[in-house]
Chains A and B, each alone.
Chain A
Amino acid sequence: MKTIDRELDRAGDGITTATRSLNPRELDPSPGWPAPATAAVAALVLVLIVGLPVLLLRSGTPDLPSQPLAEATPTNRADTPAFGAPEPLDAPAPGVRLRADGTALYAATSGDERVLRSPDAGTTWQVVLDMGPGDSEGLYAAGRLVVRVMEDDQPPDAVTAGLRAYVFDPATNERREADLPRPQDPAMTALGPGEAPECALGGYQSWVLADAVAAGERLVVTGHHQLVGRLADGSVICDGQAHRHHVWTSDDDGRTWQLHPGPPLGAITWTGERFVGWSVADNFGAASGLVASTDGVTWERLADMPAASPVASPLYTTIEGSGKRLVALAVSDRSSGDAGTEIAATVATSTDGGATWTWHATTEPLTAAGVVGETWVALRSDLAARTATVVASADAVTWAPVAEIPGLAFGPGEFAVADDAIYVLTSDDAAIWRVAAP
């Protein structure tokens, strides 16, 4: 009889064999894709140095990821404020997430998990969190705090660990790390390994994932909890059949956290008076829309997304702004094979701090949005051309280009709006661009 070890080796060999037919020339037509080295330099470079400091060899790299182009020019129109030309920042490390709050800019770096803060529009940077290699998800500028939520991981125990929140306070330079209380499944028992072979997730009780963070009167983290286990009647729940949604709050800047049940929330923000956020469509018929809360725990429905919206079930949502002017964006994608993919977006704006909202139909492939003064700004992503454009609008209906970014930027974390500038992170080469606000 075949053994699993041998069959896995065969399957691994199958993958390795398939990679041999990858054609390097077919992989690098787009900006930022490093061309492979030639066969002549493919051999390992070995340098022996006796009694000397480390010598770093960096030979010519003609086709490595492109650097930002300083000569890029703005494309302002007369009816939009005059934004500055995109200027490249001397990014301290490859960034994967950008956030801005007031005049401070935050970047989460790829690879070694670090959060950097720049108080001076990207001129200087300081490391505020350093956590070694990891996955760069969940960086939030939340009021005066910066928060990094570590997602649930899967140790080889019956029940997975919970979320951990790292909170940094730039004003005091204090850093805190705390566990978020883990939701319990009192009606369920954990499945032992192999107990339910039909379940992909057998052996674990549940997963907990964080979705958003905002801070106002209190610090709020939203998330959901995927249930896995056996009910009292013997039936098994697994593979995404059931979720519970939660809110964690902290009234002491992240030292301690409390767990509450919550609605299915997307992005959230603090307006100065209330939390406002997206309620996203669930599997039980609830439509996407906008909700508000004064305490982060009890949420009131403000507006339903129009039925005609092309974004019934968002891939992701964003909500940005400060004070009275807020812009909410829901984005989905429709893949269309060789023709590429289409991005569909729905925009909602508020000029009264989120109390009332106006929905705007758009055919623009908007992937992020924000507010600069009285002007709505957004990121328009061209996946095929691998470029992005910062666009601006007075009414959130007609969008005019104000800066062409030489590289693809896409989605939350690659577009951040501060008081005096817009920042764009291009994903192919991990460069940061600054577009000065009028």
Chain B
Amino acid sequence: MSIRVGDVPIVRVETFESFYARQRRPLVGLAYAASGSRLGAEDIAQDALVAAYRDWDRICRLEAPEAWVRRIVLNRATSAYRRRLAELKALGRLAGRGQTGLFPEVTGEIDRMWAEVRRLPRRQVQVIALRHVDRLTLDEIAEVLGCSKATVNTHLRRARATLARRLHLEEGA
């Protein structure tokens, strides 16, 4: 990421190790929220991080490497075929290791909410996950998904309306 202060360029460069340390857990959480796969969430995030690592010379110069890697995670988490391949890979990785390595169990109420979210159209799932797990702004979500802020707002509004109706909750502001 680079910014300018007056005429002076200020360049911030992050090592992959630092990026990995900051991003791994949020990405696994995002993958779980969007996919619902306790088994595959870590492999989905891992695939995206490996992609970033292999091309880090270029990725680290992007305006927002975080947005880049989130988009990959969300694309994979909401693709049924890719999710299944990730689960197959995870099964191999976890063979003989019991329940360790799975995404931690979340409480019933939270799990039910995300199950309901995942019944929404794919783009709406992605917007809700970015908004409520990663707490991104509408502008940031638009950057991740490569669409306009107005489109994000439309997805968000429709998703909330659908969820509120299905769960008998108020839409709120």
Contact = CB atoms under 8 A, between A and B. Distances in A.
Instruction: Name, among B16, B82, B132, the residue most crowded by chain A CB atoms within 10 Å (CB to CB).
Output: B132
Given A19-B28, A315-B84, 17 more contacts: A8-B117, A14-B106, A18-B32, A26-B97, A34-B46, A41-B15, A48-B12, A54-B61, A58-B56, A135-B72, A154-B122, A154-B124, A156-B158, A193-B158, A193-B161, A200-B120, A384-B96
The range of chain B's interface size is 35 or more
Interface residues of A, number: 95
Interface string B82-125: 10110111011111111011011111011001100101111110
A94 B17 CA distance: 18
Given A1-B170, A15-B106, A408-B92, A154 B46 contact: no
Contact of B18 (A6, A45, A154, A384): A45
B169 A335 contact: no
B92 A386 contact: yes
B13 A45 contact: yes
A197 B120 CA distance: 10
Interface of A is mostly: loop
Nearest to A33: B46
Contacts of A54: 2, 11, 13, 61
What are the 8 closest A-B residue pairs judged by CB atoms, nearest first?
A383-B92, A3-B172, A12-B132, A14-B110, A340-B95, A37-B17, A94-B54, A110-B51
A120 interface: no
Contacts of A34: 20, 46, 49-50, 53
Contacts, number: 277
A290 B152 CA distance: 44
Given A56-B57, A65-B50, A132-B146, A49 B11 contact: yes
Contact of A340 (B15, B75, B92, B167): B92
A134 B13 contact: no
9 contacts: A3-B173, A5-B160, A12-B134, A47-B12, A133-B72, A197-B165, A335-B87, A427-B89, A429-B50
A178 interface: no
Interface of B: 2, 8-18, 20-22, 24-26, 28-29, 32-33, 42, 46-57, 59-61, 68-69, 71-72, 75-76, 79, 81-82, 84-85, 87-89, 91-98, 100-101, 103-107, 109-110, 113-114, 117, 119-124, 128-129, 131-135, 146, 151, 154-155, 158, 160-167, 169-173
A111 B14 contact: no
A220 B86 CA distance: 29
Nearest to A27: B42
A201 B121 contact: yes
A59 interface: yes
Contacts of A9: 132
Contacts of A16: 26, 29, 133
Contact of B133 (A15, A315, A335): A15
A21 B104 contact: yes
B81 A137 contact: yes
A194 interface: yes
A9 B113 CA distance: 11
A355 interface: no
A430 B158 contact: no
B104 A18 contact: yes
Contacts of B93: 29-30, 33, 383, 386
A7 interface: yes
Contacts of B95: 338-340, 383-384
A203 B11 CA distance: 45
B67 to A, nearest CB: 8
A93 interface: yes
Contact of A111 (B12, B51, B133, B172): B51
Contact of B16 (A30, A58, A316): A58
Interface of A: 1-12, 14-16, 18-24, 26-27, 29-30, 32-34, 36-37, 41-51, 54-59, 61, 64-65, 93-94, 96, 109-112, 132-135, 137, 153-156, 193-194, 197, 200-204, 315-316, 333, 335, 338-341, 382-386, 408, 410-411, 427-430
A137 B81 CA distance: 10
B29 A18 contact: yes
A341 B87 CA distance: 10
A64 B13 CA distance: 19
Contact of A94 (B50, B68, B96, B134): B50
A4 B18 contact: no
Contacts of B120: 200
Given A16-B29, A204-B121, A111 B162 contact: no
A55 B13 contact: yes
Which residue among A12, A43, A335, A386 has the maximum number of chain B CB atoms within 10 Å of its CB?
A: A12
